[in-house]
Amino acid sequence: MRVVVVGAGVIGCAVAFECARRGARVQVLDPRRPGRGATCASAGILAPYIEGHSPELRALGVQGMAAYEPFLAALHAAGAEPPEYRRAGTLQAAFDDEGARDLTELARLLAEAEVDHRLMDGRSARSLEAGLSNRVIAALEIPAHGYVSPDGLMAALVDGATRLGAVFSVARVTGVSSGPTPRVETEGDTVDADAVVLAAGSWVSELVGTSFTGQSAIRPIRGQLLHLKSCATIASRVLWGPGCYIVPRRDGTVLVGATVEDVGFDERATLGGVRALVDAASALAPGLDAANLEEVRVGLRPATADELPIIGPSATMPQVCYAAGHYRSGVLLAPLTASLVAGLVLDGLAAPELEALRPGRFGL
């Protein structure tokens, strides 16, 4: 079977790898090099119990996190270099009574779900992470959380998929049609396939038009991320506080993110966005004031109205499948999405998870 994947972000590349691993002939089309869209502005955090703002998204994220180690093992088996991957936990901090109450409520939910966690006061938090600000009055540790390097993951996905025969082409897709044979139109060519996977993130709506509401099913949300270099150790785990998260890496780099800006297709880095992240990071971990600012990364995260991704067969185009709208959970959900899509496209297996994620809920 020939599968054309439109989009070379983390979702598209994960789908490409998984389909190639299962024997499909895969071609990936994107106007940019792999991972140069929203993925490049991701910190790679695996934290479903913090980022899961609804029970449905939380359950999906927990599945996504559980899928990581076997997925990385499959990449390694294909000959790809494993990315940096750590499960040292998260420490979520609060500066005031309202924030402390929110942490207490989250701790209650975690206890009901029998998830390992530890709620503590500010002094205990600083004994765990000495770099925390004196403003921290309460914190919640969740040991199961962690991160994966997005850059390393993308390199492994492209390498692994290529070793399995996938082809990556720099091409701007202008349209998708279906019929007896699905067809992808680019600026300079027409590509036929047995199945097409739309994984173009914020640009999916431009390819297929609007939903039945008359609005785009996916809207771009700008996220700015700071790439820092610190000579001092900032933390031993991911820190999460008011206005930012901080991801310390093994090589001394630190990622600080991320803004949430509904500004359309505007990928500019802004002084206001950088200032907001710098202020929030300094308030949480003052030692970052001495770090070097290496780079500001910007990406447009594809958001849906219910913050759940759109995964599954098109309701209007036979042999076309969606894998988009992952918003802030693209890296977290990439292995799970790849498995769901490959099972559907190659084996005709519609997993139960797909019911809540069906494109038809937006008329797609």
More confident residue, 178 or 264: 264
Q: Where is the domain boundary, 288, 303, 318?
A: 303
Tokens for 242, please give them. 């008011």
Element (H, E) at 77: helix 68-77
**What pLDDT sits at residue 210?**
61
243-273 pLDDT tens trace? 999 999 999 999 999 999 999 999 999 999 9
Task: Looking at the structure, tell me whether residues 298 and 223 fall in a common domain.
Answer: yes
Same domain, 90 and 55: no
Compute the distance between CA of residue 361 and CA of residue 47 in angstroms, rounded to an integer.
27
Q: What is the pLDDT of residue 177?
A: 86
Average pLDDT rounded to a whole number, residues 22-41: 96
pTM value surpassing 0.85? yes
Q: What is the pLDDT of residue 214?
A: 57
How many whole angstroms separate alpha carbon 178 and alpha carbon 320? 7
Same domain, 188 and 274: no
Last residue within a domain, chosen from 280, 303, 326: 303
Q: What is the pLDDT of residue 213?
A: 58
Q: What is the mean pLDDT of the segment spanning 87-104? A: 98
309 and 349 co-located in one domain: yes
Q: With pLDDT > 90 as the criterion, what percentage of the chain qualifies?
A: 91
Say yes or no: 224 and 327 in one domain: no
105-114 residue pLDDT tens: 999 999 999 9
Instruction: Tell whether the model's pLDDT for residue 156 goes beyond 60.
Output: yes
CATH of the domain at 290: 3.30.9.10
- Reduced to 3 states (helix: H, G, I; strand: E, B; else coil), residue 277 is helix
Helix (H, G, I), strand (E, B) or coil at 343: helix
Question: What would the pLDDT profile of 204-236 be if each residue is shown by its tens digit?
Answer: 988 876 656 557 899 999 999 999 999 889 999
Q: What share of the chain is helix, strand, coil (3-state, %, to 5)?
A: 35, 25, 35
Contact 90, 145 (CB under 8 A): yes
pLDDT band (50, 70, 90) for residue 53: confident
CA distance 53 to 270: 27
114-152 pLDDT, tens digit each: 999 999 999 999 999 999 999 999 999 999 999 999 999
Angle at 337 between CA 32 and CA 54, to 5 degrees: 110
The answer, yes or no, to whether residue 179 has pLDDT greater than 90, is no
Q: What CATH number corresponds to the domain at position 317? A: 3.50.50.60
Q: Are residues 93 and 201 in the same domain?
A: no
Instruction: Estimate to the nearest angstrom the gap between the alpha carbon of 348 and the chain centroid.
Output: 26
Overall domain count for the chain: 2
**Same domain (yes/no): 311, 203:** yes
Phi, psi (degrees; rounded to nearest 5) at 42: -100, 145
Q: Are strands 90-94 and 138-142 parallel, antiparallel or unpaired?
A: antiparallel
114-123, long-range: CB < 8 A, 24+ apart:
115/49, 115/142, 115/144, 116/142, 116/143, 116/144, 117/49, 117/141, 117/142, 117/143
Residues 294 and 174 in one domain: no
What domain range includes position 97? 86-146+219-303
Q: Which pLDDT belongs to residue 209?
A: 63
Together in a domain, 208 and 272 = no
Q: Give the pairing of strands 195-198 and 310-313.
A: unpaired
